[in-house]
Structure 1
């Protein structure tokens, strides 16, 4: 087998042969783009004020004044470092809203209590003096004037 077919096949597999062959080039891996650089926030450490913002957020539900103060401090620290702090902002908003609601509820409860105590005092003056019925009505019950401690009404 010394014909041209034999020579052609030996040329294709013989690494010593430097003559070009009719073989396609070997497979090469496609070139991929390099990875993007790491963001500076990933390795730059903790964000200033972030932990305090979370603490302020939790406290804003229970102790509004403390939550408000810590939220403002955390927000200022984060802004100075050039970061956003959603927890601190939420703590400020929640503290203010719940504080206002608490003040309104306090005023309403105080006024209801004052009206009730004024009403009992007025009943005492009207009914326990000479010529009165001798009873005070409190929460649907009639209480004799003798059982009422006068020192608590003054």
Structure 2
């Protein structure tokens, strides 16, 4: 049995909830203090005496922004620049005006630290800014005098 918990969860003590079949017994009792940092066994004995060992595995999600769950690289096929802000879970991409944005990223690189044991999903927001290039006037200069 595997339980996923957030980073910072206290892993010593009694289970918050543990239910067994009617007439069965469990060893140790659910009121016993346990250390859930490692696989933790429970022996359940049915009313007819059949024993079954259950192992509780606790997966702790990596802390947000730890690098264990970060996007480390991102690129669209056409872009001027991209900035990954892991503190705010955002990616800002600047693209030329008129760029088609209904495309898959050319690069989407994620950190592999902690895999496969840590599987916390992270939501990233991707902000795309189109850069407008001023049109040239008949004099050959744009409105900025260039």
Task: State TM-score, norm by structure 2.
Answer: 0.30
Structure with the bigger RCO (C-alpha within 8 Å, sep 6+) is 2
Greater strand proportion? 2
Greater helix proportion? 1
Which has the higher Rg, Structure 1 or Structure 2? Answer: 1
Task: State TM-score, norm by structure 1.
Answer: 0.29
